[in-house]
Chains A and B, each alone.
Chain A
Amino acid sequence: MGSRLRALMRKEFIQMVRDRRTLAIILVMPVMQLVLFGYAINQTVDHIATVVADASKDVRSREFIQSLANTGYFTVIGDVGDAGAARRAIDEGAARVAFVIPSEFGANTLAGRLAQVQVLIDGSDPSVAQTALLTAETLARARGIELAAAGRTASSAIDLRPTVLYNPSMQSVNFMIPGLIGLVLQTQAVLLTTFAIVRERERGTFEQLIVTPIRPMELMIGKILPYVGVAFLQVGVALAVGTFWFGVPFHGSLALLLALSLLFLLGALGIGLLISTVTSNQTQGMQLAMFTILPGVLLSGFMFPREAMPGVLQAISSLIPLTYFLQVLRGTILKGVGLEALWPQALYLAVFALAICTLSVLRFRRSLT
């Protein structure tokens, strides 16, 4: 058993390094996915075109507008007059953000009452919207503290009333990178196992393996284990890139994340194995693999918030393991929560992995004859 498994895994590693297609999947694809998705989101956003509609027109409102410009994030291109005009400026794309300052703003801040400012944000570009919102909020809070410190008011602050237009749920790099790790893992695990097995079928080496004393279980383990290793390496690299390059803070337990990643990986490898039992060539395998990966991208909450999906899609989404793994990733990385919060996700991943592995092992055994 030991010698057969060792021979198989050793062979698999040699092929992994020498087969261009496999190497490209392992080395180029994750980088491409990370850069494409990560960078598209993470561009530094500043000098956001901004208009104001200042109905207060006094010292306080001018101070507020000046502080917007001082952050460096907002470039105030003009005062458009009223809320309607501000909305039009955004509709036309002249501005990304509009601050609508009501006429009582000055009086309210002076009197220590809550001063409202309405913020309109173009949400079509989530990263711009996110930056705008965060900056405006920080600013409003800072102004409030400042005002309080000056003793002019005891409890008041500027009350921002943000409205994000077009894309109400914004995603930032912090949100994106953990999701990306899940996506990369899923793609890798499915594609690599599919190829590793279908390639043998295609070239006729599979038939050769069947006549050897290798047992089906050894064959499966020998083919899958090397890719589990590779996938774990990739989790490590992706986490490192996310943390050190994109600056995503890691709050939770690494051990828990790795343990749950293993569950997720088993499910994905099982899918790959299953695909390999129904395809006879690599092109077909690629198509089928993509067919399983795409719903993950679209429906797992990676790109679009699940809350905004119609009921049917939400139901489908709740069957996709990536959906749960994303929650695990975001939960551990961003929120720092542990198993006490993530056990339902862990349970689903475990059940899915068990089911898909059982199914694929049965099918795989049958495909050997």
Chain B
Amino acid sequence: MPAATVEVAELTRRFGDFTAVDALTFSVHRGEVFGFLGPNGSGKTTTIRMLCGILPPSAGVAAVLGHDVVREVDAIKRQIGYMSQRFALYDELTPRENLRFYGGVYGVSGSDLPSRVTGLLDRFDLQAAADRLCGSLPGGVRQRVAFAAAAIHQPEILFLDEPTAAVDPASRRAFWDMIYDTAAGGTTVLVTTHFMDEAEYCHRLALMSRGRLIACDSPAGIKHALGAEMMEVVCDQPARALDFLVDQPWIRSATLVGTRLHVLLRQEGTAERLRATLSAAGTPPHSVAPAAPSLEDAFVALTADAAS
């Protein structure tokens, strides 16, 4: 068992009466790419901000690299990198100047700094944009600069808060390659997203919903742990069929995926029963076939469980 670099117990943050993060308990191992997956407002950013020492927790404890996030925040700061949800670059500075600035701030020594900056500009494919003002660069490039800036001091842990939001799919793919490169170098990466496909790339995932941790495992593990059978249904009026199915007690969840229905069956549910019910409802299925649940199916089912 590798040593945990982040260890969280009953971590809670309230804003007034509202609980944004509710008693989270999990740990992250060294070299892992650990994802937080959850819809808007589920508490991902709040959790990360607490782990970075920006926001004090209301209750619970969190240790990063063995240091308490409240009492020993200074010890944590120089060993972590943080890329906030809004790319925090200075628009009036060029990428090179931004990197130099963050390097200086992290105490990368004077003679080391220029070569470190050049190395990062190369690695993140930023040479062409290196001396243009950041304010004039497209989103995908800015996001790479921000990543490079967060990594300039070669931190033990990188916190990336929705690094790929508002970036086209092709750039997202390339960005994840960079995340993997970084993790392969021994850096632990904690990353938030609300893209299911991205979540699949993570070694382990924390599924979040309304401030609660509803599952924490590898993507495969999460799907497997559902312990339910998934049926893919093709029928003529899927929307109408869906309305009917969600009310059945033996159905755990049903979602519309394109023109097909994904139906998770409970123990007492069978393919036969599903077929019969659909026919009775006036939407006889063309086919009912077992399928592997996707992360999205798991997410929908688990949030439904958590809500009930």
Interface residues of A (CB under 8 A from B): 3-4, 6-8, 10-11, 14-15, 18-19, 203-205, 207-214, 369
Q: Name 16 interchain pairs, CB-CB below 8 A, sorted by A.
A: A7-B101, A8-B101, A8-B104, A8-B105, A11-B90, A14-B92, A15-B92, A18-B92, A204-B87, A205-B90, A207-B84, A208-B88, A210-B53, A213-B105, A213-B106, A214-B105
CA–CA, A209 to B53, complex, Å?
A: 12
Q: Which residues of A contact B49 (CB under 8 A)?
A: 207
Number of contacts between A and B (CB, 8 Å)? 73
0/1 interface trace, chain B 77-119, chain A, CB 8 Å (1 if under): 1101010111111111100010011111111011000000000
Distance between A245 CB and nearest chain B CB, rounded to angstroms: 33
Q: Identify the 3 closest CB pairs spanning chains A and B, nearest first.
A: A7-B104, A208-B88, A18-B92
B54–A204 CB distance below 8 A: no
Contact with A along B214-245 (1 / 0, CB 8 A): 00000000000000000000000000000000
- Which of chain A's residues have a CB closer than 8 A to the CB of B284? none
Least distance between B102 CB and chain A CB atoms (Å): 7
- B55 in the interface (beta carbon within 8 A): yes
Main DSSP-derived SS at the B contact region: loop
Alpha-carbon gap, A10 to B92, bound state (A): 13
Is there contact, CB below 8 Å, between B105 and A10? no
Interface majority SS (helix, strand, loop, mixed), chain A: helix
Contact A204 B93 (CB under 8 A): no
Of the candidates B84, B89, B92, the one whose C-beta lies within 8 Å of that of A19 is B92
Asked if B90 and A7 make an inter-chain contact with CB atoms under 8 angstroms apart, the answer reads: no
Q: How far is the CB of B110 from chain A (nearest CB, A)?
A: 7
Would A213 and B74 count as touching, CB distance under 8 A? Answer: yes
User: In the docked arrangement, what's the CA distance between A214 and B88, Å?
Assistant: 16
* A203 to B110 Cα, complex, angstroms: 28
A14 near B97 with CB under 8 A, answer yes
* A-binding residues in B (CB < 8 A): 49, 52-56, 74, 77-78, 80, 82, 84-93, 97, 100-107, 109-110, 133
Chain A, Cβ-Cβ closest to B159 = A211
Q: Write out the residue numbers on chain B whose beta carbons fall within 8 Å of the beta carbon of A204.
A: 84-88
Find out whether the CB atom of B101 lies under 8 angstroms from the CB atom of A10.
yes
- Per the bound structure, the CA–CA distance linking A8 and B103 in Å amounts to 11
What's the Cα separation between A1 and B53 when bound, in Å? 20
B84 with A3: CB separation less than 8 A = no
**Structural contact, A7 and B105, CB atoms closer than 8 A:** yes
Measured between alpha carbons, how far is A93 from B102 in the docked complex, in Å? 66
B105-A209 in contact (CB<8A): yes
Are A10 and B104 neighbours in the complex by a CB distance under 8 Å? yes
A205 to B86, CA, bound (A): 9
Per the bound structure, the CA–CA distance linking A326 and B88 in Å amounts to: 42
Q: How far is the CA of A212 from the CA of B52 in the complex (A)?
A: 10
8 Å CB contact of B106 from A6, A11, A212: A212
Interfacial chain A residues near B133, Cβ < 8 Å: 18
Contact call A11/B86, Cβ cutoff below 8 A: no
A210 lies within 8 A of B101 (CB): no
A205 & B89 in contact (Cβ 8 Å cutoff): yes
Other-chain residue from B54, B56, B100, B104 in contact with A211 (beta carbon distance below 8 A): B54
Most B CB within 10 A of own CB, among A4, A8, A14, A208: A208
Report the bound CA distance from A19 to B135 in whole Å. Answer: 11
Q: Which of B56, B90, B97 has the most CB of A within 10 A?
A: B90
Given the complex of chains A and B, what is the CA–CA distance between A210 and B52 in angstroms? Answer: 9
Distance of A207 Cα from B83 Cα, bound (Å): 10
CB-defined contacts of A3 to chain B, threshold 8 Å? 104, 107, 109-110
